[in-house]
Chain A
Amino acid sequence: MKARFALIRVLAVLSALLGVNYVAWRWLESVNWSAWWIAVPLVIAETYSLIDTLLFCLTMWRARERSGPSSPPRGTADVFITTYNEPIEMVMTTARAAKAIAYPHSTWILDDGSRQDLEQAARDAGIGYLTRSEDWTGKPRHAKAGNLNSALFQTDGEFMLILDADQIPDPLILHRTLGYFADDPEVALVQTPQWFSNVDDADPLGSQAPLFYGPIQQGKDGWNAAFFCGSNAVLRRESLMQLGIVGYVRDVTTSTARALRVAAALAGREARRQKDPALAAELTQLRSVIEKARSAVNAGEPVAEATFDVRAAVERASQALVARDFATIRADLDVIARLPVARDAELDAVVVDDKALDGLAMADLSPLGAIDAVRALLDALRIDRGDEAQPILPLATISVTEDMATAMQLHALGWRSVYHHEILARGLAPEDLRTMLTQRLRWAQGTLQVMLRDNPLLKRGLSIGQRLMYFGTMWSYLSGFAAIVYLAAPVIYLLFGVLPVKAWSVDFFARFLPAFAANQLLFIVIARGMRTWRGQQYSLALFPVWIRACWTAFANVVLGRPLGFAVTKKDGRDDRGVPWGAIWPQFTAMVVLAVALVIGVIRVIVGTADGTGTLVNAIWVAYDLVVLSVIIGAARYRGPVARPSEGDV
């Protein structure tokens, strides 16, 4: 192990021990219970930060530098460029660079906007062009995940490189990454960094993420949990298709079991109510076929056979009844039309409402109506996954950040992932605050959706390290609430003299300062001269975004409300100007902090406040102000002075 990684481990242990020592003492000895309304939130916020630090230390524990694959590249490869509404020239610049990749491959533009101009341009350049097939008409589209899922069935390369429309690849990108798949047949994914060419050193929007595409991914890689980040990554087709098959089987078996349960109840009740003995016999027979299928499915018999038998029985029963029962059919039609199978507007997925399904079983239907309802049920939830464009959906569709959800499912199936730390594609970052805020909100919402829908701590198949690596990223998105406490506590002290701790005593500093110092030192060693300050600023300064993400993701997953999701503009500029509606909380906070600082100083001068406490809190406020000030520069930012032309990057 290199000396630097050894030093990181020492500092990580030190940070963890000193952090636990400080926070434990805070809980046990120093909470000012008489001002519990601020003291308790503060100690909870500090505990939150401690857990964040511990997860970070754990990530760093296994940080490693890969030297590259040992096998030469091999296998067939496709390069996918995903696009929806980006300028055609941007897409074509990327596509031409993709075509020039040295390793033999096929290049495909995946145009979700179905633009004829782009199709023509692709044809002229001799580049493959794919759009959704007819199967997708009227079906959930699943955004980028759907675009890739559609392309998977129109191509046949063993590996595919995925590029966003702005990510211009290096000619050697496949040479440098394909060897990992040959090294280890269980590798499903190789992720390379995302790096932006239109960002200068000041990087006012904090677009470069050197800490994430560096030590953090290297640490996650050490736990076999390197994340898939949507672009600049190579995937193994076999792993994705396996994921698709497993998901299909799970979906089909659960939905079939559910449909059969309701169908049996419907047929059974109708049989009991029926006065005509011939009809009653017909319905009883149908019910017994359904029940037989149910117990067969529950006993692990293949679903295809069971549902085939039921469908044949439904056809028979329906033909037998149709001659006898005309009058009541019409009345049932709208009940059947209101089948409790609804679309989730955000995820664009079909969701089945169990309660409503049970309600249907109770509805007052005629015998023929009942059979039609059974038929419609089996259709809606049938084996061919008729609600989806494709029965097999390899890329996960449970979240607006399909990449993270997909990688986690691959890991749960036992596949491995690799982070290759070498810039092999150069993209374009957002060039104004509004676009940047939309992008960050989307990432946060997607991550929290995965946390709520498919929590890594509970997910089967993941190792403990993988669970914590995924959970760590989700945990860090909860920081908005802690940020509010960190902003409010010093203001409350300076304005009203209310102490959240028992005293700003030697005891306090003897525990706080070493913990703080160890943490900062760890950070400095890890960052090793990288520009990580912007990232630190934004993790606090975007607190309204993080809180909004938490609330909207919760409302979406738990309450079924739409996310209000927007696609990030890849051409980077939004001409609607400064998004005051989104950043007023930061400006309000800055004004309040500044006012509190002035009043605090006045209170010391007139002798109504304690000098030490005011000094401590003044430093605290100054830190908050410096961090928040990043938003001022961001709001004024209008893109790099001389925008690099896309051709010469």
Chain B
Amino acid sequence: MNLTTAIRDHYAVIDIVGRLTATGAPQLRNAVNELIDAGSNRIVIDMSRTEFVDSTGLGALVGGLKSARVAGGDLRVAAVQDSVRTVLRLTNLDRVLRNHETPESAFDGR
């Protein structure tokens, strides 16, 4: 898994390339915490190049959502691929997180 962080005008983007699993989860957690510590609490996870997410990876997303919300911001996911969408549906996590079409549109309007 390869993870890069970019700060945009009103939000930050975390781009995850490859498979988000137990080995990558701590990396994601740290990235979210670093952004929040640096004052960016509106975070989009760009999943356009995320091939697979296991339950530990989902756990890291939820952990990030918690950190962002506690800091007064939000964490959103964007451009989720079909294989990952299946996992979200299987665990019902799509009842909590909405998949936004693109990272750019994730914080549109609010």
Interface residues of A (CB under 8 A from B): 153, 156-158, 237-242, 244-246, 248-250, 252-253, 300-305, 308-309, 312, 382-386, 390-392
Contacts and interface: CB of A to CB of B under 8 A. Distances in A.
Given A241-B56, A245-B55, A312-B110, A384 B66 contact: yes
Nearest to B74: A308
Nearest to A308: B74
B70 A245 contact: no
Contact of B56 (A238, A248, A253, A390): A238
B62 A391 contact: yes
Contact of B69 (A240, A249, A382): A382
B55 A304 contact: no
A156 B25 contact: yes
B98 interface: yes
Nearest to B91: A245
B62 A305 contact: no
20 contacts: A238-B54, A238-B56, A240-B55, A241-B58, A241-B59, A242-B55, A244-B59, A245-B93, A248-B62, A248-B96, A250-B92, A253-B95, A253-B96, A302-B94, A302-B95, A302-B96, A308-B110, A383-B65, A386-B70, A390-B63
Given A241-B55, A244-B59, A249 B96 contact: yes
B97 A245 contact: no
Nearest to B59: A392
B76 to A, nearest CB: 8
Contacts of B110: 308-309, 312
A347 to B, nearest CB: 22
A391 B66 contact: yes
B96 A304 contact: yes
A306 to B, nearest CB: 10
Main secondary structure of the interface of B (DSSP, over half): helix
Nearest to A312: B110
Given A153-B63, A249-B93, A302-B97, 13 more contacts: A156-B26, A157-B22, A240-B55, A245-B62, A248-B96, A249-B95, A301-B98, A304-B65, A308-B110, A382-B69, A383-B69, A384-B66, A392-B59
B23 interface: yes
Given A302-B98, A312-B110, A245 B69 contact: no
Contacts of B90: 242
Contacts of B26: 156
Interface string B75-89: 010000000000000
Given A304-B97, A304-B98, A392-B63, A237 B56 contact: yes
A463 B25 CA distance: 34
Contacts of B23: 156
Interface in B22-65: 22-23, 25-26, 54-56, 58-59, 62-63, 65
B22 A249 contact: no
Contacts of B76: 304
Contacts of A253: 95-96
A242 B88 CA distance: 11
A301 B97 CA distance: 9
A197 B21 CA distance: 40
A185 B96 CA distance: 27
A384 B65 contact: yes
Given A156-B22, A303-B96, A249 B91 contact: yes
A346 to B, nearest CB: 26
Nearest to A256: B96
A245 B63 CA distance: 11
B71 to A, nearest CB: 10
Nearest to B73: A308
Given A238-B56, A302-B98, A391 B91 contact: no
B10 to A, nearest CB: 14
Nearest to A301: B98
A238 B90 CA distance: 13
Contact of A241 (B54, B94, B95): B54
Nearest to A240: B55
Contact of B59 (A245, A383, A386): A245
Contacts of A390: 63
A300 B69 CA distance: 21
A252 B92 CA distance: 11
A157 B98 CA distance: 29
A386 B70 CA distance: 9
A382 B62 CA distance: 13
Contacts of A244: 55, 59
Given A156-B22, A303-B96, A391-B62, A384 B56 contact: no
A237 B96 contact: no
A240, A245, A302 — which one has the most chain B CB atoms within 10 A of its CB?
A245
B59 A153 contact: yes
Nearest to B99: A302
A465 B92 CA distance: 26
Nearest to A309: B110
A385 B62 CA distance: 10
Contact of B96 (A156, A158, A239, A383): A383
Contacts of A241: 54-56, 58-59
A242 B91 contact: yes
Given A156-B56, A237-B56, A246 B92 contact: yes
B61 to A, nearest CB: 9
B26, B58, B62, B92 — which one has the most chain A CB atoms within 10 A of its CB?
B62
A305 B98 contact: yes
Contacts of B98: 301-302, 304-305
A304 B58 CA distance: 15
B19 to A, nearest CB: 13
Interface string B1-28: 0000000000000000000001101100
A599 B96 CA distance: 72
A310 to B, nearest CB: 12
B21 to A, nearest CB: 8
Nearest to B90: A242
